[in-house]
Structure 1
Amino acid sequence: MIKRLVNFLKARLKKFVLDEIWLEDYIKLGMKIGNNCSIQPGVIFDYSHCWLIRIGNNVTIAPQAYLLAHDASTKRLNGYTKVASITIEDNVFIGARALIMPGVTVGKNSIVAAGSIVTKSVPEGSIVAGNPAKVISTVESYIEKNRTLSSVAKIYDSSFTIQGNISHSDKEKMYEELVNGIGFIE
């Protein structure tokens, strides 16, 4: 129990030190971040051109996403490195390990699926996925699909999370219940 508590505190301290001070440095260099954003550990912002990155309000960026405002592949070809702005508008979710390339605007209320490589701007209210990322759905359709799915799926309360101190037996129970399906946590 003490070892778990120490590991938890180490992880929280590491997150605080790496995330907060780290984001502060980007902001000092000119990157703009709106209010109520959740930027997870391991997100990489283009340090060399971070002032070209603008992030709106209520944006979530999942672990290990990458926002790249320059493209040095042109340097050998014509002697110049290509640079362009990146704009992430309000209420956007960017999935784990997604790559946002220079010149991209992710429109309001959009979702970028995990692992996507976004080379073109994302229309407002869209879901994009793939390499290169393409529109696969609207957020409105996705919400309706999940509303329907949640009406028949197993619903768990917050005790079924790490923060809820999930027990070993509940972890096993949850695994068994989700072997062949999807569930939701309130």
Structure 2
Amino acid sequence: MMNRIFNFVRARLKKYILEEIWLEDYIKMGMKIGENCSIQPGVIFDYSHCWLIKIGNNVTIAPQAYLLTHDASTKSITNYTKLGSITIEDNVFIGARALIMPGVTIGKNSIVGAGSIVTKSIPSDSVAVGNPAKVVATVQEYLNKTNHLIEKSHTYDHSYTIKGKISANNKDKMYQELMNEMGFVV
């Protein structure tokens, strides 16, 4: 009896759960991604128009960022959906949970802060943050402001990362050292 109930529930749920989509699936559908990119877990690309997304080389997109190429907010009124391409140029960093809206280009060597909602294009060499995202500094100005932090803070080599197979001892050591400050991995 339990098996029968389980199978019934599973069959009903299957209708409502989207199938898992991999990065390769987006690429097959026409999305362009350059070389040496780091796309973190949970990034969402607009499935319905992913071929409108172009990502350059050396781009990092942090977890749960969202790239949206369509806006259906007026579909029920006008019977039209607005579309726009998204271009992420080379050497860009997009922070966690940032939302990139249709029609946006993020210029080369730029940084988009975590949680930012980008509704307009960002020029090259810029740092943009907020809702809506606004340019707050050039990348060089930002680096100048943060360089003193690197000199004063703990720094850690590759062995203090998951890819570097950080040990349990080093995890504890790092936690204790960083309880009240920001550290940097080189």
TM-score band w.r.t. shorter chain:
0.7 to 0.9
Amino acid at match of 1:173: K
Distance (whole Å) between structure 2 residues aligned to residue 79 and residue 144 of structure 1: 50
Which position in structure 1 is the counterpart of 2:17? none
Structure 1: gaps spanning 5 or more residues: 1-17
Q: Does 1:79 align with 2:93?
A: no
Which position in structure 2 is the counterpart of 1:13? none
Which position in structure 2 is the counterpart of 1:111? 111
Which position in structure 1 is the counterpart of 2:8? none
Which position in structure 2 is the counterpart of 1:143? 143
Runs (4+) off by over 6 Å: none
Distance (whole Å) between structure 1 residues aligned to residue 24 and residue 157 of structure 2: 35
Higher alpha-carbon deviation: 153-162 or 61-70: 153-162
| Structure 1 residue 182, shift from structure 2 partner | 1.4
| Structure 1 residue 98, shift from structure 2 partner | 0.8
- Structure with the higher fraction of residues in helix conformation: 1
TM value normalised by structure 2: 0.83
1:154-169 alignment runs, 5 A limit: 154-169=154-169
TM value normalised by structure 1: 0.83
Which position in structure 1 is the counterpart of 2:128? 128
Which position in structure 2 is the counterpart of 1:9? none
CA displacement, residues 79-116 of structure 1 (integer Å, 9 cap, x when unaligned): 21000111101110111111100000000000111111
| Structure 1 residue 169, shift from structure 2 partner | 3.6
- What is the CA RMSD across the aligned residues, in angstroms? 1.6
Amino acid at match of 1:28: K
Between the two proteins, what is the percent identity of the paired residues? 71
Structure 2: gaps spanning 5 or more residues: 1-19
